[in-house]
Amino acid sequence: MQTVKIVVTGPFSAGKTEFIQSVSEIDVVSTERKITSEAERIKATTTVAMDFGRITVGEDLVLYLFGTPGQRRFDFMWEILSEGMLGFIVLIDSTRPETFREGRSILETFKAYAPTPYVVAANKQDLPDAWELDDMRIALRLQDHVKLLPCVATDKEAVKKVLLELLYSVLAEMDANETG
């Protein structure tokens, strides 16, 4: 049996659990907790260790999706989760610019862990006050070659698209290594 891992990361409440849930064939094995701190009470639960979703590809191959806890105080988990990953996805809540800086910081941290491909997903694009992608690219300081994709984590098709773009990047990187 072969297993492959993709990590879904991003700031607090970006939609990571939702994202994984949308495509996982099992109920996300999640470690949600009721939120106790006042500042973070913008939703009822938060992920404290990791989310864990699964997509079976065949008898011999399984893809696991790992979601990181969004709160910085759990970031000791990140390095462990990132080990051996095929690539990672940084989810950003497009409606909360106050989290963009944090998103950028998470991106840089994961980039430092492993030289794997990644994409950035601008989540919650279905909401009226979502920022536009071009503006987010500037605010997040993403270079042109970095993929920034629109996303709605509750919409399976949108989530598939993000995963596919990451896999295309993985393929492209393999080709680049072959020739380079």
Partner 1 sequence: MALKGNLRDFTITQLLNLINLARKSGTLFIEGPSEKAQVSFQQGKLAYAHVAGEDDSLATILYRANKITAAQHRTIKARAGKMSDKELGLLLINANYITQQDILASLQAYFVSVVQRLFTWVEGFFRFENGAAPPDGKITIRMSLENLIIEGSRQMREWEHLQSEIPSLDMALKFTDRPGTNLRNVNLSVEEWRVVSYINPKNTIRRIARTTQMNDLEIRRIVYGLLQAGLVELVRPQGTAPKLKPSLPGKTREEQKSLVNRLIGRIRSL
Ligand X SMILES: Nc1nc2c(ncn2[C@@H]2O[C@H](COP(=O)(O)OP(=O)(O)OP(=O)(O)O)[C@@H](O)[C@H]2O)c(=O)[nH]1
If you search the block for the tokens 């989540």, which residue do you land on?
123
- The answer to whether 20 touches 70, Cβ cutoff 8 Å, is no
Q: Shortest distance, CB of residue 51 to partner 1, whole angstroms?
A: 18
Q: Shortest distance, CB of residue 23 to ligand X, whole angstroms?
A: 13
The nearer residue to partner 1, 63 or 120, going by C-beta atoms, is 63
Per CB under 5 A, does 22 bind Mg ion?
no
Q: Name the one range near ligand X by CB under 6 A: 54-62, 77-85, 120-128, 170-178.
A: 120-128
Question: With CB cut-offs between 5 and 8 Å by kind, which of Mg ion, partner 1, ligand X, none does residue 84 bind?
Answer: partner 1
> Cα–Cα distance between 65 and 57 in angstroms, integer?
13
The nearer residue to partner 1, 37 or 143, going by C-beta atoms, is 143
The nearer residue to partner 1, 32 or 173, going by C-beta atoms, is 173
> Cα–Cα distance between 108 and 111 in angstroms, integer?
5
- The answer to whether 70 touches 14, Cβ cutoff 8 Å, is yes
The nearer residue to ligand X, 49 or 142, going by C-beta atoms, is 49
- The answer to whether 97 touches 131, Cβ cutoff 8 Å, is yes
Query: Which 39-98 positions form the footprint of ligand X (CB under 6 A)?
Result: 43, 46-47, 69-70
Per CB under 5 A, does 94 bind Mg ion?
no
Radius of gyration for the alpha carbons in the chain, expressed in angstroms and rounded: 16
